[in-house]
Structure 1
Amino acid sequence: MNKSILFPENELVTLLKNNNKAAYEYLYDHYAPSLYGIARKIVKDDSRADDVMQDSFIKIWKHMASYDAGKGSLFTWMLNITRRTAIDKLRADNKFEKDLQWDAVRENDLSMSSVFIPLPATVDLKSIVEKLLPEKKQLIELVYFEGYTHEEASEHLCLPLGTVKSRIRNAMKELRKVFDASPLSAQFA
């Protein structure tokens, strides 16, 4: 693509929302180096940063229709997607490496009776969360289903951090009561 062409942001967004190939090439050519720098700074590894960039641009492409210029610039929106993707990658890789203990599982530990597999029909977390008050439901969805930190949820919803934490704590207490009353809880006791 001709790199000398410059798109005003509002025109670029319109073209992106219409899945214009040239606009996506322009977007990548002009924004990827800065986003890569952020990803690299978080994950501290070129290979992981490459993965983050690929995942980020897929998310940007899939969610372009949800971009709202009234909430911030296109770059800020993409930066937040890249930052969250990098943090998720780092957390997933660190958890995997920390939890990976090949010698901890012995052959006789692998019988089918020792594995709990809930029936999909018995575990529907989203329907249980739906029963919460809207302000609690929204926070649980952001933090536990979408991967926001408490601080990010606070910023996203323009709520004080203490309010976010107390609502999540109260929501978790409510959810715990539901699970304690369910027949599934007996399987874990």
Structure 2
Amino acid sequence: MSPIHYLSEDDLISLLKKRDQRAFNYLYDNYSGALYGVVTRIVLHKNYADEVIQDVFVKIWNHVALFNQEKGRLYTWMINIARNTSIDYIKSKSVQNEQKNQSLPDVVNSTETHHYAVMDQVDKIDFIGLNNVLDKLKPDWRRLIEMAYYEGYTQQEIADNLSIPLGTVKTRVRAALLQLRVILNEQQ
């Protein structure tokens, strides 16, 4: 079986729903970098991120039949899977217990050192040009999007962290997402 070199989104979805292994390989080759970027912004630790990205692709493969093209694009659907899987992972009891069981020097050294190393790597490799798009948002809107979608905060946690009402967070996030849609449509 020879590899696939180009597929339209519609063809890719059709083949994935038929459980075509070559289509899955194409999907992985073309989207793993972008999805890994989302995962590393939330998970931060490379070993955990590798585990999470594997879970993400298993979920995509197992649930592709549920994907509805009328509700959005495949890429957006996969980004949401990556984001939600990453958040679920860092909030899991096993990860939280592992972090609690580390000695204080280990926590300080590994978290601080690794955080900066990963952020440097992510900043150097903007997999999908999203930083350029986010730069077009108001700074306070951009911060909300980063906290919600890259750092894994819930809207309540954002409200508490920034000392603003929950309703304000919800309104601003919605406005920011609508503005992002306009920006992305202008770029197409």
Report the TM-score, using the length of structure 1 for normalisation. 0.50
* SS of alignment partner, residue 70 of structure 1: coil
2:38 touches 2:83 (CA, 8 Å); kept in 1? yes
Aligned residue number for residue 41 of structure 1: 41
Higher-Rg member (1/2): 1
Aligned residue number for residue 165 of structure 1: none
Deviations 1:50-106 (A, max 9, x none): 0011100011011010001111110110110011111111112542236659xxxxx
> In structure 2, what residue type is equivalent to 1:97?
E
Q: Distance in 1 between matches of 2:48 and 2:100?
A: 19
Aligned residue number for residue 90 of structure 1: 90
* SS of alignment partner, residue 6 of structure 2: coil
Q: Distance in 2 between matches of 1:30 and 1:2?
A: 16
Q: Distance in 1 between matches of 2:37 and 2:3?
A: 20
* SS of alignment partner, residue 56 of structure 2: helix
2:36 touches 2:49 (CA, 8 Å); kept in 1? yes
Q: Distance in 1 between matches of 2:34 and 2:99?
A: 30
Structure 1 residue runs of 4 or more that deviate by more than 3 Å after TM superposition:
1-4, 98-101
Q: Distance in 2 between matches of 1:23 and 1:68?
A: 18
Deviations 1:99-150 (A, max 9, x none): 659xxxxxxxxxxxxxxxxxxxxxxxxxxxxxxxxxxxxxxxxxxxxxxx67
Q: Distance in 2 between matches of 1:98 and 1:81?
A: 24
* Pairs within 5 Å for 1:130-145: none
Report the TM-score, using the length of structure 2 for normalisation. 0.51
* Pairs within 5 Å for 1:163-178: none
Aligned residue number for residue 72 of structure 1: 72
Aligned residue number for residue 60 of structure 1: 60
Instruction: Say if 1:29 and 1:69 are closer, same or farther in 2 by CA, change over 3 A.
Output: same
Instruction: Say if 1:62 and 1:34 are closer, same or farther in 2 by CA, change over 3 A.
Output: same
Q: Which runs of 5+ in 2 are unaligned?
A: 103-153, 157-165, 168-188
Aligned residue number for residue 81 of structure 1: 81
Structure 1 position 41, deviation (Å): 0.9
Structure 1 position 7, deviation (Å): 0.5
Q: Distance in 2 between matches of 1:18 and 1:4?
A: 15
Aligned residue number for residue 50 of structure 1: 50
2:4 touches 2:26 (CA, 8 Å); kept in 1? no
Aligned residue number for residue 5 of structure 2: 5
* SS of alignment partner, residue 71 of structure 1: coil
2:12 touches 2:23 (CA, 8 Å); kept in 1? yes
Counterpart check, 1:26 vs 2:26 = yes
Q: Distance in 2 between matches of 1:91 and 1:150?
A: 15
RMSD: 2.7
